[in-house]
């Protein structure tokens, strides 16, 4: 029914194994508008552009939220989504948090299925380490000049084939503690996936890069005593056979992290979600970053430039054994190599 985008060359020219985490044009995206209390039918577009009102609240006041999820090509040739209902729920919580209309589960599901099916030639093959990233976004598209919620919302879903977020893949990454810029405030929007948090994180990312590191490690913005999260990923550590991850109201509740807590317990580890003091870093056996984009990225170095300290992990450059086991289990479930005993995946019927 829909003609593939003739401007895009065949996918044979894509080197799936070296794909960066970035944007690559695909054939179609999905759009939908909320006006006067009603969501319109989903519309399929082959344009990468969207006409937007110059006074849209999304543009001026950052009334915008997004999600990040992936479709995985399995060992059995089947395509799987991972815990999409959790993304739908978080998208609704983000929308509510900045007074936007919420996208109902059925509409969210229909839109992501359509986006994946219509762009199925861009789903990276099994075994390449790449996957099809799905980016739902929602923003105030109605005109306002006063600071108030929009009367109209636009929901868009586009996809892009991606490699891992950290160029190192499943090899140790370096991160740097950044204290002089915060991504989130106490009682702010740090627990929501809203665009403003990412704008606020750009200075911290630039600072981490200037220290030769891939991402910033943010501490709690009030006291700078406890670990919050890492750029666009949650933090976890392993110590005494225990999976430990921060409890904080200003971090994004990561679906990957939530899954790793369960997988750690399945592997007979204890799991703790609690405040983690920066002083505890030295006592950890393994540390890592986790998220849809980051998957699990073992951390090899945490630099604390202000205090002239470097914490080192992954001796001999190898990820720790528990991080490796968690990585293999998570990725194995997503790729259909390991039985999905928690019913986390949904197979997409391609036609
Ligand atoms: N923290 C932040 C700030 C993020 O942007 C993300 C990515 O979504 C995560 C953590 C990881 O969350 P998830 O595992 O749900 O992708
Ligand atoms: C994800 O992990 O899905 C993210 O959304 C990270 C992204 C902000 C780069």
Query: Per-residue confidence of the chain (351 residues) as pLDDT tens digits?
Result: 566 665 666 788 899 999 999 999 999 999 999 999 999 999 999 999 999 999 999 999 999 999 999 999 999 999 999 999 999 999 999 999 999 999 999 999 999 999 999 999 999 999 999 999 999 999 999 999 999 999 999 999 999 999 988 777 788 999 999 999 999 999 999 999 999 999 999 999 999 999 999 999 999 999 999 999 999 999 999 999 999 999 999 999 999 999 999 999 999 999 999 999 999 999 999 999 999 998 999 999 999 999 999 999 998 889 999 999 999 999 999 999 999 999 999 999 997
- Cβ 135 vs Cβ 162: under 8 Å: no
Which atom of ligand 2 is least distant from the CA of 232? 6
What pLDDT sits at residue 120?
97
Output the pLDDT for position 1: 58
How far away, in angstroms, is 336 Cα from ligand 1 center? 23
Mutate to test the pocket of ligand 2, among 158, 199, 251, 292 (most ligand atoms within 8 A of CB): 292
Q: Supply the pLDDT for residue 246.
A: 98
What is the set of domains in the chain, with CATH numbers? 16-162 (3.30.470.10), 173-334 (3.20.10.10)
pLDDT for position 317: 86
Residue 59 contacts residue 67 (beta carbons within 8 Å): no
Cβ–Cβ < 8 Å for 158, 43: no
Closest CA to 278 of 309, 321, 318: 309
Does residue 295 contact residue 162 with C-beta atoms inside 8 Å?
no
pLDDT of residue 8: 63
Q: Could you tell me the distance, in angstroms and rounded to a whole number, from the CA of residue 172 to the centre of ligand 1? A: 19
Q: Tokens for 49?
A: 């552009």
Quick check: is 193 catalytic?
yes
Spatial contact of 78 and 120, defined as CB atoms under 8 Å apart: no
Under 8 Å between Cβ of 251 and 289: no
For atom 10 of ligand 1, the residue with the nearest CA is: 233
Question: Which residue among 70, 174, 193, 303 is the active-site one?
Answer: 193
The answer to whether 155 and 35 have CB atoms below 8 angstroms apart is no
Pick the atom of ligand 2 nearest to 198's CA: 8
């Amino acid at each position: 029914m829909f003609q593939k985008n003739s401007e895009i060359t065949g996918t044979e020219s894509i080197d799936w194994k070296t794909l960066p985490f970035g944007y690559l044009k695909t054939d179609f995206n999905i759009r939908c508008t909320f006006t006067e209390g009603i969501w319109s039918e989903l519309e399929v577009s082959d344009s990468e552009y969207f006409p937007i009102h110059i006074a849209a609240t999304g543009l001026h006041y950052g009334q915008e939220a997004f999600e990040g999820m992936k479709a995985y090509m399995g060992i059995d040739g089947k395509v799987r989504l991972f815990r999409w209902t959790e993304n739908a729920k978080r998208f609704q919580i983000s929308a509510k948090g900045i007074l936007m209309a919420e996208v109902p589960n059925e509409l969210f599901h229909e839109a992501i299925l359509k986006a994946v099916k219509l762009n199925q030639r861009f789903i990276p093959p099994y075994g390449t380490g790449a996957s099809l990233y799905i980016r739902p976004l929602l923003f105030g598209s109605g005109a306002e000049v006063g600071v108030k919620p929009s009367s109209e919302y636009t929901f868009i879903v586009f996809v892009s084939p991606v490699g891992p977020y950290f160029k190192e893949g499943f090899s140790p990454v370096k991160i740097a503690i950044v204290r002089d810029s915060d991504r989130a405030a106490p009682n702010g929007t740090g627990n929501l996936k809203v665009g403003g948090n990412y704008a606020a994180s750009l200075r911290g990312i630039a600072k981490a890069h200037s220290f030769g590191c891939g991402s910033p490690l943010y501490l709690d913005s009030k006291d700078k005593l406890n670990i919050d999260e890492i750029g666009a990923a949650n933090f976890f550590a392993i110590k005494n056979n225990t999976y430990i991850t921060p409890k904080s109201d200003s971090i994004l509740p990561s679906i990957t992290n939530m899954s790793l807590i369960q997988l750690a317990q399945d592997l007979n580890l204890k799991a703790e979600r609690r405040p983690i003091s920066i002083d505890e870093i030295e006592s950890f056996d393994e540390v890592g970053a986790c998220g849809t984009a980051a998957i699990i990225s073992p951390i090899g170095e945490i630099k604390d430039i202000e205090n002239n300290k470097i914490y080192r992990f992954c001796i001999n450059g190898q990820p720790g054994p528990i991080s490796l086991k968690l990585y293999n289990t998570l990725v194995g479930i997503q790729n259909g190599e390991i039985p999905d005993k928690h019913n986390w995946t949904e197979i997409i019927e391609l036609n």
